[in-house]
Homo-oligomer: A and B are copies of this chain.
Amino acid sequence: MTPIITAFERSPDGGKGLARDTRVRWALEEVGQPYEVRLVSFAQMKAPGHLAIHPFGQIPTYEEGSLCLFETGSIVFHLAEKHAGLLPGDRDARARAITWMFAALNTVEPPVLDLTTARIFEADKPWSAERLPLVKDRVRATLDKLSVYLGAADWLDGAFSAGDLLMVSVLLRLRMSGILDEYENLAAYVARGEARPAYGRAFAAQFAVNAPSAS
**Contact surface of A with B, Cβ cutoff 8 Å:** 51, 55-58, 66-67, 69-74, 77-78, 91-92, 95-96, 98-99, 101-103, 105-107, 109-110, 113-114, 117, 122, 125-127, 130-131, 134, 138, 142, 145-146, 148-149
Least CB distance, A155 to chain B, in whole angstroms: 14
A82 to B194, CA, bound (A): 34
Interchain CB contact under 8 A, B71 and A95: no
Interchain CB contact under 8 A, A145 and B102: no
Interchain CB contact under 8 A, B92 and A70: no
The answer, among B58, B74, B110, for a CB contact under 8 Å with A102, is B74
| Chain B residues within 8 Å of A145, by CB | 51, 55-57
| Chain B residues within 8 Å of A72, by CB | 102, 106
Which one of A66, A110, A113 has the highest number of Cβ atoms from chain B below 10 Å of its Cβ? A110
Least CB distance, A121 to chain B, in whole angstroms: 9
A55 to B153, CA, bound (A): 14
Known: A55-B145, A58-B107, A73-B105. 6 other contacts (CB 8 A): A56-B103, A71-B107, A74-B101, A102-B105, A106-B109, A125-B127
Interchain CB contact under 8 A, B126 and A98: no
A11 to B42, CA, bound (A): 42
Closest 3 CB pairs of A and B: A127-B127, A55-B149, A73-B102
